[in-house]
Chains A and B, each alone.
Chain A
Amino acid sequence: MLTLTPKVVAIYVDRLTQQWVVRDEAGHLWALPNTETPWDDRQPFTPADEADLDPVPGHYKYLLGLPT
């Protein structure tokens, strides 16, 4: 069976919850926990109304171990 890994298209920080957030190609947002394998441990993320998502440069995807 072929498993497709969604591609990350944007990275953010959520200042409110102090965590990394990524958006995949399908437009889904994921929160990345502070673990050794943040992408594997990602959780669906729904921004709170008062969420303050700041964009982070794309080169941080390697630092966060995101799929390329």
Chain B
Amino acid sequence: MNAELTRLRDARDHAAPWRKWGPYLSERQWGTVREDYSDGGDAWGYFTHDQARSRAYRWGEDGLAGFSDDKQRLCFALALWNGQDPILKERLFGLTNSEGNHGEDVKEYYFYLDATPTHSYMKYLYKYPQAAFPYADLVQSNGRRGRGDFEYELIDTGVFAEDRYWDVVVEYAKAGTDDVLIRITAHNRGPEAATLHVLPTLWFRNQWSWHAGDPRPSLEQVPTGPGLRVVRAAEPALGEYFLACEGDAPLLFTENETNTQRIFGVPNRTPYVKDGINECVVHGRTDAVNPANKGTKVAAHYTLTVGPGESRSVRLRLANVAPVAPPGGNGAAATAFATGFDPVLEARKQEADTFYADLTPDKLSADEANVMRQALAGMLWSKQFYHYDVDKWLEERGSDPFAATRKAAPRNDHWHHMYNGDVISMPDKWEYPWYAAWDLAFHVIALTLVDPDFGKQQLKLMLKERYLHPNGQIPAYEWNFGDVNPPVHAWSTIFTYRLEKSITGEGDREWLKGCFQKLLLNFTWWVNRKDRTGRNVFEGGFLGLDNIGVFDRSAPLPTGGYLEQADGTAWMALYCQNMLEIAAELAVTDPDYADMALKFVEHYLWIASSMAHCGQTGMWDDEDGFFYDVLRLPNGESRRLKVRSMVGLLPLCAATAYDGRLLEKYPEIAERLRWFLASRPELCAAIHDPRLPGQNNRLLGSILDEAKLRRVLSKMLDEAEFLGPYGIRSLSRFHADHPYVLNVGGREYRVDYLPAESDSGMFGGNSNWRGPVWMPVNALIIRALLQYYTYYGDAFTVECPTGSGHQMTLYQVAEEIARRLAATFVRGADGRRPVYGGTAKFQDDPHWRDLLQFYEYFHGDNGAGLGANHQTGWTGVIARTLHLFATVRPEGVLAGGKQAYLQTPKPRTEVATLVPEAR
């Protein structure tokens, strides 16, 4: 067992709290729903980037390469100043939703280079221009661009010309659970010597201002000899910590409190406010920091002049014991840094290499291994302490849930039961610094590669009474917790359970039972709320696919009536299958669950048959061989909305192969199922007959029978339709020449193939499901193909790509899709990474070309990254698909089914350093 696995075991056994400190700061707290107290709910406009340096946050903190304890009491992050900017660089800058021509967008370059699951070693890179940061240019130039234009990026401003920038690398290494070593290295990439102000900053999250009686924590300088500065941090719940700063950098103290003069126009009650350090460093206002050397926010002010091509480092240490000072001299500095620092940091770095070397299959190339490791690093860096007490928040805005006279809140009015205060995996800590339920289910699929315990905890967390609505709904995201996301939680749950079972030899049945009970509530919510007519066809609104429909599916339809959604119904069929899998697993030792398994078999069959039946009013279009949403009009008429999109591919994803053990163990269940199917022959008339045995006598639950499967696959694998060079597109390319057009009430509604950004403001305008490739749904397609393969085996082949004459098994098809997805990131034969498109700097420069960004979605034709550019969240699933196909063989899948992959990877012996070094 390598050192990191030992730490994970100790954390699991509660022997050592290795996850207590981690990268739990957000990268953007301003512009969030939580900080928004405006009447109209204008989160972006209410609390701006410009205010952030001066206004204390209510619910959380942000910073560059931030680190904190798991309740975010004490925070550490990096601040920088190049001597040119009008403000310190304390947090990432980006455009708000209305400023960007494609919605909000961070305008900075930063990279998560490495991370271990206990955060024993973390590495982050920020690229800071030496010239003044072009804040105004970014806002103005993007403001002039329309939805048909590309975004204007930081690299386009020319601020990186002649390489006049700093590569600032931040590393954390844990000497103990409460002893964090910090090394900040500034590399001058420019042609001339330059000066950089480095301000490692420590502060307390402000809780004392917002609660009656909350004690005020304190930071104060501790007397030391030369060569060392020490800050003592004390907070009742956290205890005492010491930040040791090597050298004689001045310590600048202020308070993490709102500058009320600047924000509200009311005189400050203290001269030392949140932006005091900014005022001191940038404007020379020494009266803005406390000469008594105490406060609630402090920065050590290092001024580094570095020659061209050279670098300098700053070392700090945050620990719960004071640096020991032997009598006389500057022994404290020696103890904190000279002997115990670099060797420990190097050891943690080596241990990270070993951890990933053991995890990474031999079959992966060095470049693929680099992609996998950076994807996982991004996932681990994207953890964030998320704090939101909705009841309190409503009260603070005058919307007390039970008050007789109250203002209606602009959102989340019915979610006052919620209290969130946990470390959660975020989609993107700048663009989406809030959890999203269905994203999280995909995050777990990747995170469990490195930390199954954290994955389990995350899934369970969403089902806790502090999250799950009393009516059973899983919260969607803070913009509207009541929105409806696809129900993929059960899928992620059974996957995670099986993964742990395969690793440890024993599944956590109590965890699975607990999840199952809560998922039952959620399943029932879906059935009661989203099946309008009780005919087992479902709605759900946008269901995570933003602009995919011809109408905004979350809004009242311009035609009146309602939509029966192919994706909503398919998701529910998959939900049934996953619940059946869980119940069957639990029934192995607990007969009570056998009955539940039968319930879900029957429910699945009702839903699947409702979806697949033919005729004028069904979702299946026999002429096209595809599934469509059905529009039900108020006059009783109905019509299919013939948009060939991911909506119509999702029924293919509702497929699960079963080993039949449940029916063997419980013959009475088998008999009841036989009776049910015999008495309802119409149920299996249009779907795959679940009684037909396949490979190894497996059974298959699938909406698509073989004929329908082949027809849908022929479209999905057609390069002129869905199969793009970098994965399955969200919309068929067919619509490039054949836009779908619908005229309603004198207005034209249309869907065109848009492989890049959205051309409308629907759902914020920053996402696009009309052509680009999205990783999560590709992952589901791969999963389904492997399920079909374990049932149909090698005898079932299809032409892939359609029309190529090349026959493939469904395993090979799945592998081919995974290969295309990976090709987005991996350097091709031409030396270029498609993800970076035509950006020369990223393709050619040795200080850029191996740094990866895991975007939200990808151009449907050329693979260029689009949308949020640090959404390692669900795009991090690429780590899982890389690992999967480098681990399994098709014959193993046929023989072992799901267990073929869910096995402990064989450790490999050599240790390769795969992470790009800041040279």
Chain A residues near B (Cβ < 8 Å)? 9-10, 13, 15, 18-20, 34, 54-60, 62-63, 68
Contact A63 B397, beta carbon cutoff 8 Å: no
Is there an interface contact between B264 and A55, defined as CB atoms closer than 8 Å?
A: no
Taken together as a complex, chains A and B put the C-alpha atoms of A54 and B266 apart, in Å, by 12
User: Is B267 part of the contact surface with A, judged by Cβ < 8 Å?
Assistant: yes
Contacts A9-B398, A10-B398 given: A59-B210 contact, CB under 8 Å? yes
Chain A CB count within 10 A is highest, among B267, B395, B398, for B398
A60 to B265, CA, bound (A): 15
- Choose among B212, B267, B396 the residue that contacts A57 (Cβ–Cβ < 8 A): B396
Task: Enumerate 5 A-B pairs (CB-CB under 8 Å) in ascending A order.
Answer: A19-B266, A20-B266, A57-B37, A57-B397, A62-B210
Q: Closest residue of chain B to A15, judged by CB?
A: B265
**Interface 0/1 of B208-224, CB less than 8 Å to A:** 01111000000000000
Q: Give chain B nearest CB distance to A47 CB in angstroms.
A: 15
Interface centre among B265, B267, B396 (most CB of A within 10 A): B265
- Chain A contacts for B258, CB-based, 8 A: 63
Q: Does B9 contact A (CB under 8 A)?
A: no
Report the nearest B residue to A63, measured CB to CB. Answer: B209
Asked if B58 is at the interface of the complex by the 8 Å CB criterion, the answer is yes
Contacts of B211 in A (CB 8 A): 62
Task: List the 3 shortest-distance A-B pairs measured between CB atoms, nearest first.
Answer: A58-B396, A57-B37, A59-B210
Q: How far is the CA of A62 from the CA of B266 in the complex (A)?
A: 16
Contact partner of B37 (CB less than 8 A), chosen from A15, A55, A63, is A55
B264 contacts A58, C-beta separation under 8 Å? no
Whether A54 pairs with B264 at a CB distance below 8 angstroms is yes
Would you list which residues of chain B between 241 and 268 have a CB under 8 Å from chain A?
Answer: 257-258, 264-267
Instruction: Give Cα A15–Cα B257 distance, bound, in whole angstroms.
Output: 20
Instruction: Decide: A13 and B264 in contact? CB cutoff 8 A.
Output: yes
* Contact (Cβ within 8 A) B58 A34: no
Which A residues are in CB contact (< 8 Å) with B39?
55
Task: Say whether B265 contacts A18, CB under 8 Å.
Answer: yes
Q: How far is the CB of A13 from chain B (nearest CB, A)?
A: 4
**Which residues on the A side are within 8 Å of B266 (C-beta)?**
13, 18-20, 34
How many residues of chain B are within 8 Å of chain A by beta carbon? 18
Q: Which B residues are CB-close (under 8 A) to A57?
A: 37, 58, 396-397
Interface of A is mostly: mixed
How far, in whole Å, are A18 and B268 apart by their CA atoms in the complex?
11
Instruction: Report the bound CA distance from A59 to B37 in whole Å.
Output: 10
Inter-chain contacts of A20 with B (CB < 8 A): 266
The answer to whether B532 has its CB under 8 Å from any CB of chain A is no
Chain B residues positioned under 8 Å from A63 (CB to CB): 209-210, 257-258
Are B265 and A58 closer than 8 Å at their CB atoms? no
Chain A residue numbers with a CB within 8 Å of B665 are: none
B267 contacts which chain A residues (CB < 8 A)?
18, 34
The distance in angstroms between the C-alpha atoms of A68 and B400, with both chains bound, is 14
What is the distance, in angstroms, from A48's C-beta to the closest C-beta of chain B? 15
Since A18-B266, A20-B266 are in contact, a sample of 14 more A-B pairs with Cβ atoms closer than 8 Å, ordered by chain A residue number, is: A13-B264, A13-B265, A15-B265, A18-B265, A34-B267, A34-B269, A55-B39, A57-B396, A58-B37, A58-B395, A58-B396, A62-B209, A62-B210, A63-B257
Of all chain A residues, the one with the shortest Cβ separation from B268 is A34
Write the chain B residue with the least CB distance to A56.
B264
Give the complex CA separation of A25 and B211 in angstroms.
21
Interface residues in B191-249 (C-beta closer than 8 Å to A): 209-212
- The answer to whether B398 and A58 touch across the interface, beta carbons within 8 angstroms, is yes
Give every chain B residue within 8 A of A62 (Cβ-Cβ): 209-212
| Interface residues in B36-58 (C-beta closer than 8 Å to A) | 37, 39, 58
Q: Whole-angstrom distance from the CB of A60 to the nearest CB of chain B?
A: 8
Question: Closest Cβ of chain A: how far from B28's Cβ, in Å?
Answer: 19
* Residues of B contacting A34 in the complex (Cβ-Cβ under 8 angstroms): 266-267, 269
Residues of A within 8 A of B395 (CB): 58
Smallest beta-carbon distance A62→chain B, Å: 5
- Report the Cα distance A55→B396, complex, angstroms: 11
* Closest residue on chain A to residue B399 by CB atoms: A58
Residues of A within 8 A of B265 (CB): 13, 15, 18
Tell me which residues across on chain A come within 8 A of B396, comparing CB atoms.
57-59
Cβ distance A50 to chain B, nearest Cβ, rounded Å: 15
Residue of B nearest to A35 (CB): B269
The chain B residue sitting closest to A34, CB to CB, is B267
Closest to B396 in A: A58
Q: How far is the CB of A49 from chain B (nearest CB, A)?
A: 19
Interface residues of B in 644-666 (CB under 8 A from A): none
Write out the residue numbers on chain B whose beta carbons fall within 8 Å of the beta carbon of A58: 37, 395-398
| Alpha-carbon separation in the docked complex, A67 to B323 (Å) | 43
Tell me the bound Cα distance from A34 to B265 in angstroms. Answer: 13
A34 to chain B, nearest CB (A): 5
State the CA gap A18–B39 with chains docked (Å).
22
- Residues of A with C-beta under 8 A to B209: 59-60, 62-63
CB proximity to A under 8 Å, residues B376-401:
395-398
> Nearest chain B CB to A14's CB is how many angstroms away?
9
